[in-house]
Amino acid sequence: MSIAPRTPTIQSKLPKVGTTIFTVMSALATEKNAVNLGQGFPDFACDPLLVDAVDQAMREGLNQYPPMAGVLPLREAVAAKIEALHGKRYSAQDEITITAGATQAILTAILAIVRPGDEVIVLEPCYDSYIPNIELAGGTVVRVPLVPGTFRPDFDKIAAAMTPRTRAILVNSPHNPSATIWSAADMQRLEDLLAPTDVFLISDEVYEHMVYDGRAHESAARFPGLAARAFVVSSFGKTYHVTGWKVGVVAAPAALTAEFRKVHQFNVFTVNTPVQHGLARYMAEPGRYLALPAFYQAKRDLFREGLQAKTRFKLLPSEGSFFQCVDISAVSELPEAEFCQWLTTEIGVAAIPLSAFYADSFDQRVVRFCYAKEDATLRTALDRLAKL
């Protein structure tokens, strides 16, 4: 008697996780031929010189495994950039690691430091990978809301959330989804708060080069008390308009980096070789990232001016990142998620509800647009939004 094939039942490690809102809205945008201002990626090409640099590396035969931590020329370029911008010298050999995107970097940092029962503070609304990453490590998520409406950190609430079990805190500036940035005073307040503790900091800085109106990006690397306990995460994909390449970087003190790399080597081991060499060569010209604030501020201003002139949305500040949040209260009575479905289907423009970035789907009548698009794409979206 034969036994029928049987697939064992899986007890999910992430039972609450389904299809992300980004996948849902992008699919709907494609179905409805809508302008997709939902998911955060550019619709324009990167610099052809960057492609040429990667192509050259491939043709030179740089196609086999690189060192686990990343090719040294790229780590040296990152260390030099951080020192030039923030005055902090990291060892390229022992304190810089190239990762398969910033999301992998964040997961790896969490897996390196968080044990079952440890608490990790996240500030909501937050990027959607943070909470599942903590849960995969067996940690307990402690949610602290940013101040509704302004999305500023509430340090009294952060302090109240800290316990002897607090292992780490995640912060993100420039912030996705709200487009706010942390000031030097904010970072100093965090530095003072963490000083007497053994709490680690994971500082998500993937939009580091997208800060506007003459303001500076206040990296955790600038503050000695933070840098000493921080994994500072950034993204080549965001910086150079190549999100699909999935290449990121982590800077951290040598002792933290050693533990990070123990996880990294058994997670992805390393990152594709020719892209790393191409990025290293491309970074030799600092103007290629120093020009980003002006480049994206022009797009921000075009989009904001169009929204103000053509719609009844209330615009929230866009201090950094490549996002613009708007209050929909004067336009619709629908909840955020339903409004975004309606906007995509009936108006032909896709957006993301801010409620998707809260565990409890907190609805404050705010949605997020991405303006990392061709000017023509933004103008088409604005013409459609004028129908509201």
pLDDT in tens, 131-182: 999 999 999 999 999 999 999 999 999 999 999 999 999 999 999 999 999 9
Cβ contact 242:51 at 8 Å: no
Q: Strand, coil or helix: what is 98?
A: strand
Q: Find tokens 């698009």 and name the residue.
A: 373
Please name which of 321, 333, 310 lies closest in space to residue 383, comparing C-alpha atoms: 310
pLDDT over 90 percentage in the chain: 94
pLDDT score of 122 more than 90: yes
202-250 pLDDT, tens digit per residue, is 999 999 999 999 999 999 999 999 999 999 999 999 999 999 999 999 9
Q: Look at residue 75 and tell me whether its pLDDT is greater than 80.
A: yes
> Do residues 388 and 341 make contact, with C-beta atoms less than 8 angstroms apart?
no
Report the CATH architecture of 48-288. 3-Layer(aba) Sandwich (3.40)
* CATH class name, domain 21-42+291-385: alpha beta
Q: What pLDDT does residue 224 have?
A: 98
Instruction: Tell me if the pTM is above 0.85.
Output: yes
Torsion of CA 334, 353, 182, 17, to 10 degrees: 130
Instruction: Decide if pLDDT at 23 tops 90.
Output: no
**H or E, element range at 235:** strand 230-235
pLDDT score recorded for residue 2: 80
Instruction: Give dist(CA 358, CA 21) in Å, integer.
Output: 12
Give the pLDDT mean for 371-381.
98
Q: Where along the chain do its domains lie?
A: 21-42+291-385, 48-288
Q: How much is the pLDDT for 22?
A: 81
Query: Comparing 21-42+291-385 with 48-288, is the CATH topology the same?
Result: no
Q: Which helix (H) or strand (E) holds 105?
A: helix 102-113
Instruction: Compute the average pLDDT of residues 38-51.
Output: 94
For the CA atoms of the chain, what is the radius of gyration?
21
Q: Provide the terminal-to-terminal Cα distance of the chain, rounded to the nearest Å.
A: 67
pLDDT at site 18 = 80
Q: pLDDT exceeding 70 applies to what percent of the chain?
A: 100
pLDDT digits (tens, 9 = 90+) for 307-361: 999 999 999 999 999 999 999 999 999 999 999 999 999 999 999 999 999 999 9
> Under a CB-based contact definition with an 8 Å cutoff, are residues 349 and 332 in contact?
no
On average, the pLDDT of the chain sits at 96
